[in-house]
Chains A and B, each alone.
Chain A
Amino acid sequence: MGLIFAFISLGLALIFGVMNIVNFAHGEFMMIGMYVALLISTYLPLDPLFSLPFAALVGFFLGIVSYRFLVQYILRGPMVAQLFGTFGLMLFLRYLFMLIFGPDVRSIKKGILVGKTLSLGWITLDVSKVVSAGLCLLLFAFVYWMINRTKLGRALKATSIDAEAARYMGIDTEKMNALAWGVGGATVGIAGGLLAHFYYITPTVGMLFILIAFAIVALGGFGSILGTFIAGLIIGLIQVIGGHYLSELKFTFVYIAYFLAVVLRPRGFFGW
């Protein structure tokens, strides 16, 4: 679970790190990824696992489109405008899906991974969670490699550190911003596709995850991929342990952890 959280936050960390903007609609991107997985597994003779590329594609386009039509403009405004612009986007997407699919809770019922468990002697694991965790790890490594080792990734990083200087160096920052939104959307789309295997699907599911994602990103340091990864694991652990003892308050522990973390170390563990 921690890995999934970490992965959801990764997209957010990218967007936040590159553009210094809080994306409230991030949870909604994830929700859309979940619906993509649901639709593909319901109407096409494909396993929900193979819906991941589609979810990534949809997330990518969603990110680019929302950048072109909304974020580009609100970036010029003050911070308040950014908060409310993305918040408006969040409401819009949520109720668009409410309108199309209704408020019912759905879940994916068939698929290779759904509902199977793996017995490892003393411990029983949910196969879908194990495979999701594994995939997340792989993708994490991939994004890490892309950001730190490729030219494109370095351009992205340069934009995030100092957009103006990057522009002087000949980097098309507008394009990089759009790309960050696209990649952020794609990662969270995949996360949604994976999450759909073992989590219920409703149009309002995003809110729950976006807050945890905020906590993780802040804890790990905005824009740091490694930090996000570690913070995701920590938050996942806090939630599982806290939920074990006092299940009603498990999110309270997460929020308190976030609160303490940002107050004690406002830059997060690995922020620059």
Chain B
Amino acid sequence: MWQVIKDIFSFRDYHRFERIGLLIFIVIILIFPLIVEQAYSRIVMIKFLLFALFGIGWNLIGGYGGQVDLGQAKNVGFGAYATALMMVWWNTPFWITVPIGMIIAAFESFGVAYPMFRLKGHYFAIATLCVALVWKELFIFWDWTGGARGVEIPVKATADFVHMQFPSNIYYHYFVFFLFITQLLFMNWFRKSKLGYQLQAVRDNEEAAASLGINVTWTKVKTYTITGGLGGVGGSFLAVYYLYIDPDLVMPLDLSILIAMTVLVGGAGSMWGPIIGAAILIPLDMYLGAWLALIGGRYGIDFMVYSLIIMIIAAREPKGIWGIIERVKGRG
């Protein structure tokens, strides 16, 4: 037990600069809403933290596991719908809906994982994509989920810590930051757990891992299930943040791919990958879009710049930006 707690909070195996960097990062996030008054910057910050949160969840299977999953949006959708529907139907407190959403997402992931991990590489990636799309179509088709119209959560008048509804973005900022930190700590523990080491062995060499007695498929299935559950948390946050969800908002294909992309751009399989990736892509996306709208540029240029950056990173630096940093560090 003591060992587990120590593993959760210990970042001892990271380089000194990384630990200092993490500390600076946390301090910046903590004081950010106190110094920045501009509403748009705060929204950008929340979105950045949300995607860093998604990225950390996805990084387990995509980074440490090396399995490219393009269906994370379905788990986000499960979380969001679990929270929204239960709030509408029974006025359930937010903190009860989160574990339920996680369990639903994890169960679904577990169910589809076993057949899917018979596939490798591209086949697996496209299969996850198909599963996510099937769920999206079903959520649009079904009546009890509100169909394409979506679900609206009744608005509370005052700040409400039971249903997590707040009049100001500052609350949401600290709220999503809290979720982010819990997942970061979870990831820190997972990295050093038995499953984490097994997973990294499987990623690096499947045959060698299997010959050491690791059940390759079972390792992947377990990780995929956990990833599913973690995706649900961010979805629950989305539901109370937007107070309105529909399948196109919480489970589109673009979301799945954006989640995977932030991790890839930042550097898959490292603690910093999701953070750096989200820190680059999200503000870039939002400020570029806002700036182009301001100067009257036509819709689309922001996505073109965006996709150019993705192409350059994919072509030149497949390990992502963290890969560049590590190389520079290794040289210096």
Contacts and interface: CB of A to CB of B under 8 A. Distances in A.
If over half of A's interface residues share one DSSP class (helix, strand or loop), that class is named, otherwise mixed; here it is: helix
A81 to B, nearest CB: 4
Interface in A72-129: 73-74, 77-85, 87-92, 94-96, 98-99, 103
A89 B93 CA distance: 44
A214 B126 CA distance: 8
Contacts of A99: 298-301, 304
Contacts of A70: 311, 315
A92 B303 CA distance: 7
Contacts of A44: none
Given A81-B314, A83-B68, A266-B119, A91 B306 contact: yes
B121 to A, nearest CB: 5
A266 B133 contact: no
Nearest to B147: A248
Query: Which of A70, A83, A98 gathers most chain B CB within 10 Å?
Result: A83
Given A262-B119, A262-B127, A96 B300 contact: yes
B314 A85 contact: yes
A88 B309 CA distance: 8
Contacts of A85: 310-311, 314-315
Contact of B310 (A78, A91, A263): A91
Interface residues of A, number: 43
Interface residues of B, number: 45
Contacts of B121: 79
B257 interface: yes
Contact of A249 (B62, B141, B257): B141
A77 B137 contact: no
A259 B68 contact: no
A218 B123 contact: yes
Given A88-B307, A103-B299, 16 more contacts: A70-B315, A77-B314, A82-B314, A85-B311, A91-B307, A95-B307, A98-B303, A207-B253, A214-B126, A252-B138, A252-B141, A258-B127, A259-B131, A263-B115, A263-B127, A266-B118
Interface of B: 62, 68, 70, 115-116, 118-119, 121-123, 125-127, 129-131, 133-134, 137-138, 140-141, 253, 257, 260-261, 264, 268, 298-301, 303-304, 306-311, 313-316, 318
Among all A-B residue pairs, the 4 with the closest Cβ atoms: A77-B318, A85-B314, A88-B310, A91-B307
